[in-house]
Amino acid sequence: MPDRIELRAIAAYGRHGWFPHEREQGQPFVVDVTLGVDTRPAAASDELSDTVDYGILAERVVGVIEGEPVKLVETLAQRIADICLNDIRVEDVEVTVHKPEAPTTVPVGDVTVTIRRART
């Protein structure tokens, strides 16, 4: 079972959504990422190069949120998971995308989609 590195509440503004007004006006998105990583090499060396640089990863996640619009939160979550799994040290990832201003016909405090992916 791998160790975990978690990044919580990565926030950015994106233009994702099914409706044209979501893609035109945009809205806030918040992302949580949990990485399955063997942290023993970094613990032994005490070197950043032996682990996932979560600062750079957070920047990449924001780049996806602010990047090319998609219609579904599921697609956005998959793109973020793919970015995380690009680092060979990441064994698996859980991504939760929050869409707090999702258009609904009744009041909803938050809408989330959570996916789990592992290296194949």
- Residue 105 backbone dihedrals phi, psi, to 5 degrees: -85, -10
Predicted confidence band of residue 98 (pLDDT cuts 50, 70, 90): very high
What pLDDT does residue 111 have? 94
3-118 classified as CATH 1.50.10.10: no
- Residues 22-36 have a mean pLDDT of 96
Place 1 in a pLDDT band, splitting at 50, 70 and 90: confident
pLDDT(11) > 80: yes
Calculate the alpha carbon distances from 22 to 4, 14, 79, 96, 101 in Å: 34, 9, 19, 20, 10
- Is 71 among the residues known to form the active site? no
What is the average pLDDT score of the chain? 96
Enumerate the domain spans of the chain: 3-118
pLDDT value for 2: 85
120: confidence class by pLDDT, cuts 50, 70, 90: confident
pLDDT tens for 60-86 read 999 999 999 999 999 999 999 999 999
Secondary structure letter of residue 89 according to DSSP: T
pTM of the model: 0.94
Catalytic residue, chosen from 5, 22, 73, 99, is: 99
Phi then psi dihedrals of residue 111, to 5 deg? -120, 130
